[in-house]
Amino acid sequence: MNKNIYIETYGCQMNVADSETVAAIMQSSNFTPVTKIGEADVVIINTCSVRDNAEQKIWHRLDFFKGLKRRKKHLKVGIIGCMAQRVADKLLEHEAVDFVAGPDAYRSLPELVNEADIEVNHINTYFDIEETYSGIVQYKNGENAISGFVPITRGCNNFCSYCIVPYTRGRERSSSYNDIINEVADLRDKGYKEITLLGQNVNSYYFEDDNKMVDFPTLIKMVAETAPEMRIRFTTSHPKDISDSLIEAIAQYDNICNHIHLPVQSGSNKVLKLMNRKYTREWYLERIEKIKSTIPNCGLSSDIFCGFSEETETEFQETLDLMNIVEYDSAFLFKYSVRPDTAASKTLVDDVSETEKVARLNRLIALQNQISLKKNKADIGKTLEVLIEGFSKRSKDFLFGRTQQNKVVVFPDANFKVGSFINVKITDASSATLKGIPKI
Ligand code: SAH
Ligand code: SF4
Ligand code: F3S
């Protein structure tokens, strides 16, 4: 019997891409992906474990599903993603949960769903170092046929001391360049306008076969040449692996977006060492200089978190100081959350109080808002190329899109087509968005 499946996604872009892979796997086993929970026979929740509050959100959500299942007796609920890998047994004990699958076990989902009625083990959290979901064309529901994700690596080998990802996603592996190029060509032929190459650390991409040895700079050039009319983005880059040849490739190819997301985490050498980030503040700033001098007008963004073990006021100020030097266009800012089983949880003391963490986070946010505003105001008067993504949330008379630098631009609609490129003259700016007038 054909069943409807609804997938709910939390966490990072890897999870968004994985949910599309899962939808494709389910569809080829006679499940129909739907976009409304009310129509679902099976709900799959794709989860994140990166900070404790990400997991708390899921536990609350499960209480909602417990209620829904009382009204809808045949409904099955499964948990996948990083939290499924980390706390599979505990999840399965929850009344709402019927099956659990970790990030390398998605090919077994149809089986797990079908077995959810019988008394068998409903968990699959085996790691499979070979699994790259090769051969599966991701399911796209057509709502956003503009921008597509293409995962190029899975897992992570870096073991930053605070981070749960290497434990939930397993060891790093790269997809074959042939698979990647085929996926890019497929999205191009379907009319997509932008592609984001995804991985926890895309710079360490490496795939070798009898013909070629392909590293990330080589791969991104192949991608740029496969889809010369499309915008190419990539995320995330680890500062220790960002090479001159990648920076030069971005400068060389017009369709590789002038934007680099280069998470620094902290501006203090002592804290970076405790985090096991494997670079220094000086190394990082040198890489930023190289980017700024090679790629004119390159958008820069970062991830930063405060309150890590042993971070004093002085070290925190080194982070603020680094933010002032780099002047990121935007940044994701967090406060430290201890993750069970990580090196930091075992060897370091979580010694910054919650009150202090919150106070430091607020200072990070205030400074970044100020910098973003300054950077955005500097765009006033410029004419920038924008890829139109849709209607503004505030008004149907306005459209929004992004610049190559990944900045959001809002402008009045005059029958422009969503998914097309237009030039917009920037007339106003806030810390979050640019406003402008289309130039026709
Ligand atoms: N692979 C990416 C990051 C993945 S996690 C990278 O290395 O850049 C996304 C962000 O969450 C991290 O960059 C970090 O800033 C933050 N993060 C990870 N673990 C955290 C923790 N335990 N507490 C608070 N923030 C954390
Ligand atoms: Fe986590 Fe570090 Fe790997 Fe990023 S590089 S996923 S922060 S361990
Ligand atoms: Fe979260 Fe896993 Fe991504 S922990 S950030 S969903 S890799």
Do 198 and 251 lie in a common domain?
yes
Residues 99, 26 share a domain: yes
b/e code 122-160 from CB counts within 10 Å (16+ = b)? bbbbeeeeebbbeebebbbeeeeebbbbbbbbbbbebeb
Q: Rounded to an integer, what distance in angstroms lies between the CA atom of residue 426 and that of residue 410?
A: 9
Instruction: Give the number of other Cβ atoms within 10 Å of residue 431's Cβ.
Output: 15
Q: Are residues 229 and 101 part of one domain?
A: no
Best residue among 165, 169, 264 to mutate for probing ligand 2's pocket (most ligand atoms within 8 Å of CB) is 165
Q: Examine the domain organization and report whether 360 and 394 are in the same domain.
A: no
**Shared-domain flag, residues 405 and 349:** no
Same domain, 286 and 397: no
CA of 337 from ligand 1 middle (Å) equals 10
Question: Which ligand 3 atom sits closest to the C-alpha of 200?
Answer: 7
Q: Does the beta carbon of 424 lie inside 6 Å of ligand 2?
A: no
pLDDT band at 119 (very low <50, low <70, confident <90, very high): low
Shared domain check, 395 and 372: no
Average pLDDT over residues 169-178: 97
Distance between CA 235 and CA 147 in Å, rounded?
14
Q: pLDDT confidence of 310, banded at 50, 70, 90?
A: very high
- Spatial CB neighbours of 314, under 8 Å, sequence gap ≥ 6: none
**C-alpha–C-alpha distance, residues 439 and 433, integer Å:** 18
Strand partners, 32: 4
202 ligand 2 Cβ < 6 A: no
Whole-number pLDDT of residue 405: 98
Any ligand 2 atom below 6 A from CB of 237: no
Mean per-residue pLDDT, 348-352: 98
What pLDDT score does 81 carry?
A: 97
Check whether 1 has a pLDDT greater than 80. Answer: no
Domain boundary among the residues 335, 353, 377 is at 377
- The whole-number average pLDDT for the span 134-156 is 88
Select, from the ranges 136-140, 142-146, 151-155, the one with the highest average predicted confidence (pLDDT): 151-155
Does residue 432 carry a pLDDT above 80? yes
Would 136 be classed as within a structural domain? no
Residue nearest to atom 4 of ligand 1 (CA): 200
Minimum CA distance residue for ligand 1 atom 12: 303
Asked whether 152 lines ligand 3 (CB < 6 A), one says no
In a domain, 94, yes or no: yes
- Closest ligand 2 atom to the C-alpha of 201? 5
Residue located nearest, by CA, to atom 5 of ligand 1: 50
What confidence tens digit (pLDDT) does each residue in 88-111 have? 999 999 999 999 999 999 999 999
Q: Which CATH number does the domain housing residue 396 bear? A: 2.40.50.140
Q: How confident is the model over 272-293, as a mean pLDDT?
A: 98
Structure tokens given for 410: 């809002």
Our answer on whether the CB atom of 261 is closer than 6 Å to any ligand 2 atom is no
CATH code for position 331 = 3.80.30.20
**Ligand 3 center from residue 343 Cα (angstroms):** 18
**Is there a domain that residue 353 lies in?**
yes
Note whether 170 and 199 are same-domain residues.
yes
- Let me know whether 325 and 425 are in one domain: no
Together in a domain, 111 and 9: yes
263 lines ligand 1 (CB under 6 A): yes
- As a whole number of angstroms, the distance between CA 301 and CA 405 comes to 9
CA atoms within 13 A on the CB side of 388: 21
In the reported structure, the alpha carbon of residue 42 is separated from the centroid of ligand 1 by a whole-number distance in angstroms of 31
Sign of the dihedral through C-alpha 149, 152, 154, 157: negative
User: What distance in angstroms lies between residue 247's CA and the mean position of ligand 1's atoms?
Assistant: 23
Ligand nearest to the CA of 13: 3
Q: Do 316 and 417 fall into the same domain? A: no
In a domain, 48, yes or no: yes
pLDDT tens digits along 223-277:
999 999 999 999 999 999 999 999 999 999 999 999 999 999 999 999 999 999 9
The boundaries of the domain holding residue 21 are: 3-124
Q: Check whether residue 225 and residue 333 sit in a common domain.
A: yes
DSSP 394: S
Overall number of domains in the chain: 3
